[in-house]
Amino acid sequence: MHPGGVRTNIGNNNGRLYRWFLHNITWHFLKDPGISGDAVYYLASSSELKETSGKFFNLTIEEKAAEHALDREKQKKIWNLSMKMTGLSERSNSKANSNQ
């Protein structure tokens, strides 16, 4: 699910020029967080979509995912890198070993 450009506090601790650009230029093109929140809620709770899995949505509109997003090898690499960078793989393994 892609929430679209959303008006959040991200970037508010960046430099003065960035904040000025964000609030005076970019801000006007971003969506209210409620719009994206409603879309997430709908996708998660809609009875119409309860059998839907593995699809890509731009807000509530189903779209074809980009080719690189469908590449299983890239998915595995990103997953493994994410697990390594967050330390989750080590924690998961340690937890599993301590329970034995």
The structural domains of the chain, with segments of one domain joined by +, span 1-65, 66-100
Q: How confident is the model at residue 39 (pLDDT cuts 50, 70, 90)?
A: very high
- Residue 51: per-residue pLDDT: 92
Task: Return the SS3 of 70.
Answer: helix
Alpha carbon distance 43, 92 (integer Å): 29
Residue 14 has pLDDT above 60, yes or no: yes
Q: How confident is the model at residue 91 (pLDDT cuts 50, 70, 90)?
A: low
What distance in Å separates the CA atoms of residue 32 and residue 14, rounded to the nearest whole number? 21
Q: What is the mean pLDDT of residues 2-11?
A: 84
Using CA atoms, how far apart are residues 39 and 61, in angstroms rounded to an integer? 9
Q: 88-98 vs 72-86: helix axis angle to the nearest 10?
A: 70
Q: How confident is the model at residue 99 (pLDDT cuts 50, 70, 90)?
A: low
Q: Using one digit for the tens of pLDDT, what is the confidence trace for 15-32?
A: 999 989 988 998 889 889
Query: What is d(CA 55, CA 2) in angstroms, rounded to the nearest whole number?
Result: 11
